[in-house]
Amino acid sequence: MRNSKGLNTVLTGVFVIAGIAILLAGVFIIGGKDKTFKKSLTANAVFVDVNGLAKGSNVWYEGVKIGTVKKVSFVQNGVQVSFGIEEDVKQKIRKDTKVKLSSDGLIGNKIIVLYGGTAASPVVEQGNTLMVENGIGTEEMMATLQSNNKNILDITSDLKVVSKALAEGKGTMGKLLNDPTISNSLQAAMASLNKAGNNAQVLTTNLSEFSKKLNNKGYFLNDIATDTTIIASLKSTAAQLSHMSQSANVVVENLNATTARLNSSKSAVGVLLNNDGAGENVQNTLINLQAGTKKLDENMEALQHNFLLRGFFKKRAKAEEKRIKDSAENAMPIAN
């Protein structure tokens, strides 16, 4: 009996020692995995919202786990997170390194990510507070996705309405797609544009050939463009034409002024041309002068036959005959 009890005691002790060994091994394995027993320094970061970050969350730098969150507490200006950084990687972390919240996946556990930092900045030390970048959280991302989905739904609905209107031939585009008359008109317009383009190409070719001719010596337009004598003659001719045009303008102005005077009732000629009464008076005056002249001739002839003046007229006639005779004799050449 005593041997059995002793054996049981020994077996119980062995199982207890084995359990304790297994427990310690598990603690060391888990601690080694979480790097609980590694020496580290503590740094801080203050967030507005930690979005579920808790003690024990991992700290990552360039895709490598370098520590864990040790404490999450409220402070005056937000939520302070204290996290450990392993001593053997602290040379990589600088005082200007930034901190942001992230997650293992789209909806995974929250983690802290360190990034950035310059070589010119000192190495992080125990108790330093690093700058925080408040990025977009999962909730904001989901809200944004929900809003985008709603916008896509609205756009899809609008496209459905537009496509239905196009299929029914509503609006300009609908008529364009469904009305053959408009399609034919557009085809005719395109044909006209094509023809116009061909004509423009022909015109361009003709202009090119014409410009080549302008560069040929002996061509009239080339002579005009290059011969300074012709240019001077053309300038002189243009000046003369300008002078003649100015003179013609003066003549026209004078004619206009003369015409205006003839049409004026203030000048004598204008009165004669425009006043019927004045013209009739002039005609009567001429008729009276003609009649008076005729009567004067009759009176002169009667005076010549009057016996009192007959001798006077006879003497006058003889004197005139003698004058004519003497003039004729003086005009004859003297014979040698």
> How do residues 35-48 score in pLDDT, each as one tens digit?
555 688 999 999 99
Q: Is the pLDDT of residue 23 over 50?
A: yes
The tokens of 283 are what?
């005609």
Residue 99 has a pLDDT of 93
pLDDT at position 188: 85
pTM for the whole thing? Answer: 0.36
Please measure the distance between the N-terminal and C-terminal CA atoms of the chain and give it in whole angstroms.
Answer: 221
On whether the CB atoms of residues 80 and 44 are closer than 8 A, the answer is yes
Residue 138 has pLDDT above 70, yes or no: no
Q: Which of 77-86, 176-185, 263-272 has the highest mean pLDDT?
A: 77-86
Task: Answer for the pair 93, 85: CB distance below 8 angstroms, yes or no.
Answer: yes
pLDDT winner (highest mean) among 87-96, 126-135, 159-168, 272-281 = 87-96
pLDDT at 289 exceeding the cut of 90 = no
Least confident of 109-123, 214-228, 233-247: 214-228
The most confident of 30-44, 118-132, 181-195, 228-242, by mean pLDDT: 118-132
Say whether pLDDT at 328 is over 80: no
Residue 336 has a pLDDT of 43
CB 129 within 8 A of CB 46: yes
* pLDDT in the model for residue 305: 66
Query: What percent of the chain is predicted at pLDDT more than 90?
Result: 18
Rg of the chain in Å (alpha carbons): 66
Mean of pLDDT values over 27-33: 54
Indicate the pLDDT class of residue 314, thresholds 50, 70 and 90.
confident
Contacts of 58 (CB under 8 A, 6+ apart): 65, 67, 68, 69, 109, 111, 112
pLDDT at residue 306, rounded to an integer: 64
d(CA 41, CA 86): 6
Per-residue model confidence (pLDDT) at position 194: 87
Task: Give residue 157's pLDDT.
Answer: 82
Q: Rounded mean pLDDT of 207-236?
A: 70
